[in-house]
């Protein structure tokens, strides 16, 4: 999708986060942004059974070997990038980021966790099917626009600089204001009400904007992109439909063997 705009894309699969971090540094600072995803499956579900026992295999890794990604990989990767490239734009996406965009229940720690954006390492979060949105982000960056000019884009989450008030310039003035993270920690009823609103919004054709305060940050979630015929165009691009070249001389990837002859 990004290459179709005439841009070059470098993909670093399963970077090593335990050594000198050379995988994160070897390509230098990108012209537009770092795009971060933890992969096709939530890292915690991938690493642990429902009884919270560590899995011994990973179907998404060559040779079915485990241990090549960290727990909560999106947060780990974005922190490393922020520490090493503090001025770079970081755009997160994928299943793991999408499910953690607001206060959420974490099964593994058995407690409520704040938005994945609360630590300040992610500039923009694209949730759901993000082809149209990531294309628009690229086009605005190519024009020289800053993040402040992207806050009207659909299907993104961002941190607003202001809290809800009557100011017409307030980015949250048209949003449904959810109970803040601290209130959810005190009240299960407040969290349950939030959950109901979020789920209904996620399944609405014309969804509302949502906003939630978490600490000193206001997390804003814009409504999703309305579907159009662009999705046909995205699926017609010349994908190789093969694993990253890094894996060509390595053992088979079980998840790829399972899906290689499937159709969308």
pLDDT at 167 over 60: no
Q: How many whole angstroms separate alpha carbon 98 and alpha carbon 224?
A: 12
Long-range contacts of 196-202 (CB under 8 A, 24+ apart): 198/102, 201/176
Q: How confident is the model at residue 168 (pLDDT cuts 50, 70, 90)?
A: very low
Q: What is the pLDDT of residue 172?
A: 75
Q: What is the pLDDT of residue 204?
A: 87
Determine how many CB atoms are found less than 10 A away from the CB of residue 208: 15
72-128 per-position pLDDT tens digit? 999 999 999 999 999 999 999 999 999 999 999 999 999 999 999 999 999 999 999
Q: How confident is the model at residue 170 (pLDDT cuts 50, 70, 90)?
A: low
The pLDDT of 13-41, averaged and rounded, is 94
185-238 per-position pLDDT tens digit? 999 999 999 999 999 998 888 899 999 999 888 999 999 887 677 778 888 899
Half-sphere exposure of 99 (CA within 13 A, CB side): 17
């Amino acid at each position: 999708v990004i290459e179709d705009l005439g841009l070059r894309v470098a993909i670093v699969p399963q970077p090593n986060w335990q050594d000198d971090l050379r995988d994160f540094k070897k390509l230098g600072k990108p012209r537009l942004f770092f795009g971060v995803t933890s992969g096709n499956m939530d890292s915690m579900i991938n690493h642990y059974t429902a009884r919270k026992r560590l899995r011994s295999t990973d179907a998404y890794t060559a040779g079915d070997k485990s241990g090549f990604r960290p727990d909560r990989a999106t947060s780990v990767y974005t922190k490393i990038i922020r520490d090493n490239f503090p001025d770079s734009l970081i755009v997160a996406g994928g299943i793991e980021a999408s499910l953690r965009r607001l206060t959420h229940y974490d099964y593994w720690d058995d407690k409520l966790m704040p938005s994945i954006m609360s630590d300040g390492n992610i500039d923009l979060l694209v949730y759901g099917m993000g082809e149209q949105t990531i294309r628009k982000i690229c086009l605005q960056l190519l024009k020289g626009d800053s993040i402040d000019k992207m806050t009207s884009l659909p299907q993104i989450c961002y941190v607003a600089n202001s809290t809800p008030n009557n100011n017409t310039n307030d980015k949250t003035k048209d949003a449904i204001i959810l109970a803040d993270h601290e209130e959810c920690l005190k009240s299960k009823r407040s969290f349950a009400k939030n959950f109901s609103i979020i789920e209904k919004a996620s399944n609405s054709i014309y969804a509302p904007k949502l906003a939630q305060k978490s600490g000193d940050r206001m997390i804003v979630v814009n409504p999703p992109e309305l579907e159009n015929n662009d999705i046909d165009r995205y699926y017609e691009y010349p994908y190789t439909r093969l694993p990253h070249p890094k894996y060509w001389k390595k053992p088979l990837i079980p998840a790829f063997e399972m899906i290689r002859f499937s159709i969308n």
